[in-house]
Amino acid sequence: MKAKFWEYVNGGLVRITLAEDKPISWHESHSTDEGWSAESVTWSLNGETVTREWINDGVDCDGRITNYGRDECHIDDLNAREFQDYVTQRIDFIPAWRDVQHSQRDQFAELSNY
């Protein structure tokens, strides 16, 4: 079984084709004026469910902040949401991701006992 869908990655839509038990990963990082920023995503197909595990990480003047989570989409919903690219005026359909788990770690808040 394979799953094909459009995903917004690195500033544009990318067509992803997943085979069962063969995950695909993407990563981007760069320096900023106050530190660094990074983003990683891994997509995997297990049965009739596509899983997207993601992490946004970085450091700025307030310390490190990390957001991460896991989303899922049934293969029948991989083209369920309309997406319009306002630059190209192109309309495509993207997955209707369902949030399964997400969390955040804020170094500055931890140091302030929040």
Per-residue model confidence as pLDDT tens digits over 16-61: 999 999 999 999 999 999 899 999 999 999 999 999 999 999 988 8
- The C-alpha atoms of residue 51 and residue 35 are separated, in whole angstroms, by 30
Residue ranges of domains in the chain:
2-111
Length of the chain: 114
Q: Which amino acid is at 4?
A: K
Residue 21 pairs in a beta bridge with none
- The C-alpha atoms of residue 47 and residue 21 are separated, in whole angstroms, by 9
- The C-alpha atoms of residue 92 and residue 35 are separated, in whole angstroms, by 35
- Give the three-state DSSP class for 23: coil
Per-residue model confidence as pLDDT tens digits over 96-107: 999 998 887 766
CB 73 within 8 A of CB 50: yes
Q: Which amino acid is at 72?
A: E
Identify the CA nearest to 56 among candidates 29, 23, 96: 29
pTM of the model: 0.82
